[in-house]
Amino acid sequence: MSILVAVPIFRVSCRVGIDKGRPWSIVDELILASIARVPRTIKELADHADLPRQLVVASIARLMRFRLIEVRASANGASFMASPYGFEAISSGNPLPFFPKRLVRKASFVIERATGTFFPTRDVLIKSPRKIEAERKVGADVRVLRVEGDGPTMSQEANLNRLSEVVAQGWDEQLASIDGRTASVRDDEYMVVRVVDGVPRGLPEAAGDELRRIVDVVAALDVGNPGLTVQYSGPQSSRHTEPVYHDCSFSPEDLIIGGSAQRVEFEKLVRGAHQRVIIHSTFIKASDVEALFEIIRAACRRGVRFSVFWGAEYDEETETRNAAEAAKIMEMVSKDADTAGRFVVDMRTTGSHAKVMLVDTPSGEWLAAVSSCNWLKSPFRNIELTAILRDQAVVADVMGAFQQIIGRRGLSDTVATELHLTKRDLKRLSPKGGPTRIAVISGDAHDALLREASGIASQRLVLGCHKLGSTARPGALLQGQMAASRPGMAVRVLYTMVSKPMRNRHARELKAEAAANGFRLIEAGKIPLHGKFLAWDNDDLVVTSMNWASASSEVDFPDAEIGVHIASQG
């Protein structure tokens, strides 16, 4: 007896670039390091490293092929020493330069919707609803599985991870690029498993026990039963927003405070960019971009490409206004030969309030700026804060948050894919360590950190916000009150303006209430405060886009607000 069990699937397909090549081994790096300053013969290298001569010869030959070492003639015969290029590579602390061969392939995989397992498309039989119905018409016993519940996560991050596993056909291959124009996701097909006398045929070896059990249950149904409904029983799509701290170094010069200082730093970052600048600014304005046009044009002339995203969506009018500004900016840059095609503004809002900038450098490293400043809609007259992050592990975390902000279109979003692949490479670098602990903050981690700070601060706590709103009392002010209840604590909450539905009289009431509870609620003076920050005692600072006194974190979109916690002695 033969039964066809149809399991609903997602099918993802695209064209990918694969980097194929043998990475450098620890033996290669050991040999290059040993001849960085002193030339050695093959015999000396073999004896010194206690390695077989054949292994040393093979490593030397490969290092020479990539110009990392050179031959020196000596009385003892040929000796080898690192070339200037090789010396620079081995002493940089970074992995040795890798020169893979780029291959282009079509890639496709399916995700069955019952347990979330994925398989290469070549390993399964796929049929459309029309073909399944055709099987029924010719007398086949077809049982269709129906799945209820949330189903497997189809986020860009998840599909990129699946794709990385599917496309690599050996240890010397890795996913390098995705052609977003070819990316597609279908959700109207079935993976068909033929069950003959109770034995499933065509079920991939990677199928889990739960999927096999479900297929057996469906196949065991009475004749004439069209199928079965089950609850999704695979991994859930959840985001972990708990901060990950990295031990690294942070210079006080990388904390930018002020208004005009933000423009100076923006120009410095753009001027130092090697090939890429990626910006997320909540708001954008054509006239403010025009004021920065010369520095942008100069970078484009050097071959730098800009990708700009914006997140304004408080209401339909705000979103429409910023979309119109995006169109004006694109019209302006398209008329200039230097910026046309190199400065691109995404025309759709991300919905995020984050202010983040990513810049690559000639050394191959990246810089990240996490800020309160809307660089592309700012007269640079307000008090703002920006943290410049140089540690590559921290930068990788910022890239991950940025990817989550813009990656809602899946594999077709080329910039989000670029960030994922770059993040992967940065995470492979060896940590440099340092006396500072830094973590990227998103979502409800903001609220948790504010509660923690109000509970552990022993001398002072200062909270800076742009707006004072209806969430101030249960949020920032309650935590300020808790901190102020301890003896010897000085607590200040700063703001610039009141946001609706609050009025100035409400602000006066909150000021009086704060004073009665032992701390001060202060309205900024002549120079408006747009910066959002939290500082306590001598060592801890959070720079963020989060208005603690007028907003709360979004559970469904934690990356709507991005900040960074810097814990450094002094």
Share of the chain above pLDDT 90, in %: 75
Q: pLDDT digits over 70-79, tens only?
A: 998 877 778 9
Q: What is the DSSP string of 451-503?
A: HHHHHH-SSEEEEE-SEE-TTTIIIIIHHHHHHHTSTT-EEEEEESEE-TT--
**Is the pLDDT confidence value at 506 over 80?**
yes
Q: Is residue 435 part of a domain?
A: no
Q: Is residue 558 part of a domain?
A: no
pLDDT at 241: 75
> Is this structure's pTM higher than 0.85?
yes
CATH number where 45 lies: 1.10.10.10
Q: Which of 69-78, 201-210, 347-356, 521-530 has the lowest mean pLDDT?
A: 69-78
Whether residue 465 sits in one domain with residue 500: yes
pLDDT at 239: 67
Exposed e or buried b per residue across 441-459, where buried means at least 16 C-beta atoms within 10 angstroms of its C-beta = bbbbbbbebbeebbeebee
Whether residue 341 sits in one domain with residue 381: yes
pLDDT at 238: 65
Q: Which two tokens stand for residue 36?
A: 């960085």
- Span 164-178, mean pLDDT? 89
Which residue has 């000596």 as its token pair?
74
Quote the mean pLDDT of the chain: 92
Q: Is residue 133 part of a domain?
A: yes
Whether residue 13 sits in one domain with residue 39: no
Alpha-carbon distance of 399 to 179, in angstroms, equals: 20
CATH number where 492 lies: 3.30.870.10
The number of distinct structural domains making up the chain is: 4
Whether residue 493 sits in one domain with residue 369: no
Whether residue 478 sits in one domain with residue 421: no
Whether residue 118 sits in one domain with residue 47: no
Alpha-carbon distance of 292 to 375, in angstroms, equals: 10
Q: Is residue 96 part of a domain?
A: no
Q: Which of 72, 91, 110 is the last residue of a domain?
A: 91
Residue 249 DSSP label = -
Whether residue 190 sits in one domain with residue 216: yes
Q: pLDDT digits over 305-350, tens only?
A: 999 999 987 678 888 999 999 999 999 999 999 999 999 999 999 9
**Is the pLDDT confidence value at 1 over 80?**
no
Residues 511-517: contacts with CB under 8 Å, at least 24 apart = 513/473, 513/477, 514/477, 514/480, 514/481, 517/480, 517/481, 517/484, 517/485
Whether residue 533 sits in one domain with residue 422: no
Q: 95: pLDDT confidence band, cut at 50, 70 and 90?
A: confident
Q: Is residue 466 part of a domain?
A: yes
Contact call for residues 492 and 479 (beta carbons, < 8 A): no
Instruction: For residue 99, count other CB atoms closer than 10 A to its CB.
Output: 9
Q: Is residue 566 part of a domain?
A: no
pLDDT at 547: 92
Q: Is residue 399 part of a domain?
A: yes
Q: Which two tokens stand for residue 346?
A: 């995404």
Domain that holds residue 198: 2-20+102-231
Alpha-carbon distance of 274 to 494, in angstroms, equals: 38
Whether residue 291 sits in one domain with residue 168: no
pLDDT at 570: 65
Whether residue 398 sits in one domain with residue 294: yes
Instruction: For residue 101, count other CB atoms closer than 10 A to its CB.
Output: 10
Q: Which of 396, 430, 464 is the last residue of a domain?
A: 430
Q: How far is CA 446 from CA 13, 354, 557, 569, in A?
A: 37, 13, 13, 21
CA angle 361, 365, 370 (to 5 degrees): 85
- Span 519-540, mean pLDDT? 94
Which residue has 């340092």 as its token pair?
434
Share of the chain above pLDDT 70, in %: 99
Whether residue 252 sits in one domain with residue 401: yes
Q: Is residue 557 part of a domain?
A: no
Beta strand extents in 116-162 (DSSP E only): 118-120, 126-127, 141-148
Contact call for residues 303 and 275 (beta carbons, < 8 A): yes
Whether residue 12 sits in one domain with residue 31: no
